[in-house]
Structure 1
Amino acid sequence: MRTYGKALSVVAVAAALSATLSAATMASPASAAVTIKMERVYTESVWESMGIQFTCPPNQVLTGRSHYGDERARTTYYCSRILINDEQVQVHAGDWTSPQRESRSDYSAPDHQVIVGRWHQDDENGDTRYRTAALYWQGRQVLLTDGDTSGEYKESSHSWQAATGKVMTGRVHYGDENSKTWYRFATVSFAG
């Protein structure tokens, strides 16, 4: 009888261990927390009033912009790559937006999209367009959360760079180069 009792105990332990291992195996590795890093890797200054279409290099996004002077001065763009668990996020750029007059432009990228390019022609009466992109990691869309707007900057004398973990999602500008500019930004996140 004692042998039967011990055999039952071993069977019960084996069943419990099997259930525990199955549950651990079935847990999705994507449900684990991820580490998101941003690396500023590219900067370019352009004569944007000449109608140059600036787009960040492949798989990079806009994280900053600076401008000093009137429309004849250069504008500098700052691009960053996004890494999740040390693997680069894929950036799927779309088409250019319809033009807006720069002196009264107010642009926000669609939900969960980031700005990767800007195209401006002439002075404050010229047109401005933006190029946005969706972000993907391991085939799943990366989300942008906690959208916000920066304080105001004088267009002809400023440098703006998104805080760590944030990307540019929009821009507002009214008036000429002595008027104000605001930037929209959001936090990169991934729901496993």
Structure 2
Amino acid sequence: MRKKALSTAAAALTAMAAMSAAAPAPASAAPVRIEIVTAHSETVREWIDPFTCPTNMVLTARSHYGDENAPTSYSCGFILIEGEQARVYIGDWTSRQKESKSDYSAPDHQAVVGRWHEGDENGYTRYRTATVYWRGQRVLLTSGDISVAYRESNHTWQAQGTGVMTGRKHSGDENGNTWYRFANVTVAG
């Protein structure tokens, strides 16, 4: 009797294992909730002061009205993933590029957190980027794109949705065009 009970139990377990192996995979996890919260705005004299976002923030907007002596405004935001603040690890300043023909793109999956400009359009510009982590996992920046052209001396640009700044291109003097590179914050898996 005992042997038969074990055989029946073993058969039941085998059948259950076969059913679970054949069962469809569970639906993928719900999408991760990502939010960019603007938490700091600052107006600086770019030709004198380099600008870097405060701790754990990335650039989300820039505006400039006037020539190279006019101030520039920046906005920085926290990246919140599932309501938790992501960690931003700031790197060094890039090598300088002549502003009148500058074209900068951050390395893959890095956001811009700072800009340093010296002089007028014949001066030089540097950028500062950062990697972003959440729960020990590298945050990815995907679906990168470039904005429409803005007249440098009369514009405001702001990333939309889960977008952050990943680069900038400028041609000419303050009346020349500026374009912004941006990408959306995502996490793998």
Settle same-fold status: TM greater than 0.5. Answer: yes
Aligned to 2:165: 168
Find the aligned partners of 2:16 and 2:110 in 1 and give their Cα distance: 46
**Equivalence map 1:179-190=2 (5 Å):** 179-190=176-187
Aligned to 2:88: 91
Aligned to 1:34: 32
Q: Is the alpha carbon distance of 1:11 and 1:32 closer, same or farther for their aligned partners in structure 2, counting shifts above 3 Å?
A: farther
Amino acid at match of 1:79: C
In the TM superposition, residue 49 of structure 1 has moved relative to its aligned partner by 1.4
Amino acid at match of 1:12: A
Aligned to 1:62: 59
Aligned to 2:23: none
TM-align CA RMSD: 2.5
Where in structure 2 are there 5+ consecutive unaligned residues? 21-25
Find the aligned partners of 2:8 and 2:158 in 1 and give their Cα distance: 66
Amino acid at match of 2:75: Y
Amino acid at match of 2:12: A
Find the aligned partners of 1:48 and 1:67 in 2 and give their Cα distance: 10
In the TM superposition, residue 33 of structure 1 has moved relative to its aligned partner by 3.2
In the TM superposition, residue 93 of structure 1 has moved relative to its aligned partner by 0.6
Find the aligned partners of 2:162 and 2:14 in 1 and give their Cα distance: 46
In the TM superposition, residue 184 of structure 1 has moved relative to its aligned partner by 0.3
**Equivalence map 1:116-131=2 (5 Å):** 116-131=113-128
In the TM superposition, residue 63 of structure 1 has moved relative to its aligned partner by 0.7
Find the aligned partners of 1:82 and 1:15 in 2 and give their Cα distance: 48
Amino acid at match of 2:77: S
Where in structure 1 are there 5+ consecutive unaligned residues? 21-26
In the TM superposition, residue 96 of structure 1 has moved relative to its aligned partner by 0.1
In the alignment of these two chains, the number of paired residues is 181
Amino acid at match of 1:33: P
Aligned to 2:74: 77
TM-score in terms of structure 1 length:
0.86
Secondary structure of the structure 1 residue equivalent to 2:50? strand
In the TM superposition, residue 15 of structure 1 has moved relative to its aligned partner by 8.9
Find the aligned partners of 2:171 and 2:185 in 1 and give their Cα distance: 28
Find the aligned partners of 2:119 and 2:57 in 1 and give their Cα distance: 26
In the TM superposition, residue 5 of structure 1 has moved relative to its aligned partner by 5.6
Secondary structure of the structure 2 residue equivalent to 1:8? helix
Aligned to 2:132: 135
Aligned to 1:46: 44
Secondary structure of the structure 2 residue equivalent to 1:151? coil
Secondary structure of the structure 2 residue equivalent to 1:98? coil
